[in-house]
Structures are given as structure tokens and as C-alpha cells.
Amino acid sequence: MKNIAVIGAGYVGLVTGACFAQKGNHVTIIEINQDKIAKLLRGEVPFYEPGLDTLVANAIANKTITFVTSIAQALTDKPELIFSCVGTPSLPNGAADLSYVEAAAAEIGAAITDYTLVVNKSTVPVGTGQKVQAIIAGQLAQRGITVPFDVASNPEFLKEGDAINDFLNPDRVVVGVESPKAAQLLRELYDPFITSDEQFLCMNRPSAELTKYAANTMLATRISFMNQLAILADLMGADIDQVKRGIANDRRIGNHFLNAGIGYGGSCFPKDVKALIHMGSEYHFPMTLVKEVDNINHFQRVWFINKISTHYGPLLKDKTVGIWGLAFKPETDDIRCAPSLDLIDDLLLRESNVLVYDPVAMPNISARYGGALTYATSAQQILEESDFLVILTEWKEFLEFKPESFNLLRDKTVFDGRNCFNPSAMQQAGIRYLSVGRNHRAVPSTLPRSYDGTSAPTETMARCRVVASEAGEDGQATP
């Protein structure tokens, strides 16, 4: 059992604290928002993550998690490790905003009295560990004292919707350290979570910091590759699902992150891709491939929205558009950089009536759009009251509907951005079904007139970029 402090009761901080507590460690979570602490003590987790509310409630009941409002308070318990889980949102130029990381480091340096291992768990650019070390050392120098400490990098690899399992049963644990003592402390801490030495990957700090960006950008690249290929498949009369089968059976490729759709969203991929582009520019090495991954992702939304506007033209103004799915992916209420935002914005500009439904993300959408939208209470209501349907999130409850169900739509038309249904079955049921990369049996796809092969920015794409720049890190709190 170790004594641990976690800075920030946001997504990463709360998952980290709850999972460490579940293994018997004592965790002090630092959160300046007293209202958030009060809600957590009542069992109210401020975001949707399956299983997290139970884990937090159990830890509070067992007194393995406590909450304080300052780093100085947490340090009175003399934690061996302090995990910094603060936000690193994107700045307008794509760089990560490190102000919260730096503020936390300054507070740590102003208060530590015994050896402490400071661990950056936030997603931070290469070199951040060195900055944090310098800030803490500077604070100690101002105090005129010498206190031993280490700074390590331990990036998180948590999928929203499956974060508890990812933490408790990790594929790998990556740690970046500069001392044997830091490596040993982290190895002891994670020993209950891993089953083999190969899962614990110890490296230097810059390598660990870069690994996080490399992992997310690799996954984003696979998604963007398949999405661009899907548009070509539509133009050629090919079926992207069959193409996926053909390449996924190659053991060198596999089938993960090869589903064509309307692009990635959330707080991690958009932000981390932009940050890697910015890091390349700082080192005078343009990340040209990564730039195009970002461009393709934005263009995919433009292309999909264009399919709808081309189909209906000026008639969209008089249509009631039903939307299934508002979160950027299933099993989360996160709408940051979600495709739903770009489609809703476009439809509102066209003065369409927009009727929306999502199992858990409705409050977040309502907070953003208020009375500009109509909010359904079920997926069934969407079918009964809409002219046509747009599917943006592949929630399991949507997949239970039969093709015949969509005949309730007045126009009997479905635009599926997640390829949830079988095109042949939908056609046989009398539904006009337009998906992504599988339209060889439907009308040919069209490209926006502005498309020239370089993902030229459009008004819709510009809105996508604004949304991406506003995204924080996984709902994390600031110190």
C-alpha cells in the first residue's frame, strides 16, 4: 500500500485515483472546486464512465479516497507519489497549454518537505518533465532548502467508455524516469496491475512523453486512411467493408481502428494530433503526414454533411432532421469535437428543425444549444417524428432496430455515419440508405465543389477547427 496524491478530479484524475484506491492504496485527490467534491461525496460523478461511480463510492466508503482543496493540504500526509492529472487544452496554434501543469509544479515545490516522486500523467509535450523539474527546483531554491525529488512521465492510455478496464488490466504501463528510485517506486505501484514484466515499459522521460502522442496519432492515422479510402470506394463502386476484410486478415495490419465513418472526435485524438504537428514545427521538422491526417478528419465531416445537403438542397429548410447519437463515441457523454456539433451547426444555419436523441449526452448538448433544438426521449420518437434520420454514434440500442422500423420516417431515408446497418437489408425494406464507403448499390457519392485533393478548408471545416481548439483534456479539472 502506498500513499498517493492525485491533482485534479477530472476524467483522468478520478479514474486514476479510484483504480489506485481499488488496489488498497490510500489516495488523496486535490480538487479546488468544492461543489464538485460535495457531489462526489454524494456519489455523483460529473461525467459518464461505466463503473466509475461504483468504484468511487466504494473507495469513499472504505476511506481509501479523501478529497482536499490544495496541494499543500495533500502534502501534510507526506505522499510518496504525486500524480499530476490537470488539463492541457489546445492553444490556438495547436500547442498544449501547460499553464496548469506549471502551476501545479510551483505549488509542489513550495510545499514539499520530504522525498516525493512527481508523476506527469497528463498528456504533455516532450520536454515537460524537464520544465516541471526546473520549476520545483526553483521553488526549493527560493525557500532556501534542499529536498530530494524526482519527476517522471506516466502517460495514460484510457479509452472513454472502457477506462476502468484499461487501467486495471493495461496492455502496457509506460513510465519515463531519470533515476532508479523513481523506476522502482512506479514498478512497485503498478505490480498489482500487470501480469508480466513485458507490460512494464521503462524508458527515459522524452520517450515516454512522445509515446503518448505517437500512439494516439497512429490510431488517428488508421481512421483517416480508411475514411479517405471509403470516399474513393463510393466513387469507384467498391464496398469499404469488404476492403476492410481484405486487409484486416493480414496479421501485420489487423482489424483495429479500421471502421470507416465520419471521423474521430473527443478530447484526445484531435488535440494530440495538433500538438504533434506543433512539436514538429518547433523542431523545424514539418509533420506532413500528421497534418494530412488532421485535414482528412475535418474533410470527412464536410463530405458527409454535403451528402445530406446535396440530397435535399433547399428543401432542408422545411425538414425535421432526426439525429441518433450526439456523443463522439458510444459509452460516453463527451461531445467535445463530436461530429454531431458540426452537423447541428450546419442544419441550424439552414433553418432545419433538428430533433436529437442520445442515451447519455443530452444534458451536454442541451447546455450548448438550449432551445435551438428539440430533444426526444427515445430513439423510437425520432423515427416517429422525423422526415429523415442521421446516425452519428453507434450506440447498442440503435443496433437493435430492424430495417422495417425506418419506414416510420416520412422520407424513408437514413444517412448513416457509422455504418450500423446492412445496405441490402435496408434497401429491401424500402429505405433509401446512404452510408460511408458502401454506396455501390445506391446513388454515387458526390464531393463538395471546393475539394481539390488537399482537404481545402470550408466554412464547416472552420467550425470543426474551432471546436477542436476549445477541447480540454478528457474533462480534467485544473489545479
Q: Residue 219 pLDDT more than 70? A: yes
Cβ–Cβ under 8 Å, residues 216 and 419: no
Closest CA to 300 of 421, 399, 216, 392: 392
The three-class DSSP label of residue 258 is coil
Q: Assess whether the region 3-203 and the region 239-470 belong to the same CATH fold.
A: yes
The percentage of residues in the chain with a pLDDT greater than 90, rounded to a whole number, is: 91
Q: Residue 228 pLDDT more than 50? A: yes
Mean pLDDT of 75-100: 95
What's the pLDDT tens digit per position in 354-395? 999 999 999 999 999 999 999 999 999 999 999 999 999 999
What does 261-327 look like in DSSP terms, one character per residue? SS---SSSHHHHHHHHHHHHHHTT---HHHHHHHHHHHHHHHHHHHHHHHHHGGGGGG-EEEEE--S
What's the pLDDT tens digit per position in 65-84? 999 999 999 999 999 999 99
The three-class DSSP label of residue 386 is coil
Provide CB contacts within 8 A for 355, sequence distance 6+.
320, 321, 322, 323, 373, 374, 375, 376, 381, 382, 385, 386
Mean pLDDT of 191-211: 97
What's the pLDDT tens digit per position in 231-276? 999 999 999 999 999 999 999 999 999 999 999 999 899 999 999 9
Mean pLDDT of 394-417: 98
Q: Residue 472 pLDDT more than 90? A: no
How far is Cα 454 from Cα 351, in angstroms, rounded to an integer?
A: 30
Q: Residue 284 pLDDT more than 70? A: yes
Q: What are phi and psi of 176, to 5 degrees?
A: -110, 120
Domains of the chain, residue spans: 3-203, 239-470
- Residue 455's pLDDT band, with cuts at 50, 70 and 90, is very low
Provide CB contacts within 8 A for 342, sequence distance 6+.
301, 305, 460, 463, 464, 467
Please identify which of the residues 85, 202, 268, 337 carries the catalytic annotation. 268
Q: What is the predicted pLDDT for the residue at 442?
A: 47
Q: Residue 478 pLDDT more than 80? A: no
- Residue 439's pLDDT band, with cuts at 50, 70 and 90, is confident
Q: Residue 444 pLDDT more than 80? A: no
- The CATH number given to 239-470 is 3.40.50.720
| Bridge-based pairing state of the strands 432-434 and 413-416 | parallel
The percentage of residues in the chain with a pLDDT greater than 70, rounded to a whole number, is: 92
Measure the CA dihedral 216/219/221/226, to 10°: -160
- Residue 327's pLDDT band, with cuts at 50, 70 and 90, is very high
Q: Residue 479 pLDDT more than 80? A: no
What the block records as the C-alpha cell of 287 is: 509533420
Q: What is the predicted pLDDT for the residue at 275?
A: 96
List residues bridging with 323 in a β-sheet.
356, 390
Per the prediction, the chain carries an average pLDDT of 92
Mean pLDDT of 60-65: 96
Closest CA to 167 of 19, 316, 343: 19
- Amino acid identity of residue 130, one-letter, is Q
Mean pLDDT of 157-172: 96
Closest CA to 228 of 287, 161, 299, 165: 299
202 as an active site residue: the answer is: no
- The CATH number given to 3-203 is 3.40.50.720
Closest CA to 12 of 322, 296, 267, 279: 267
Mean pLDDT of 213-227: 98
Q: Residue 467 pLDDT more than 70? A: no
Least confident span in 257-266, 324-333, 368-377, 448-457? 448-457
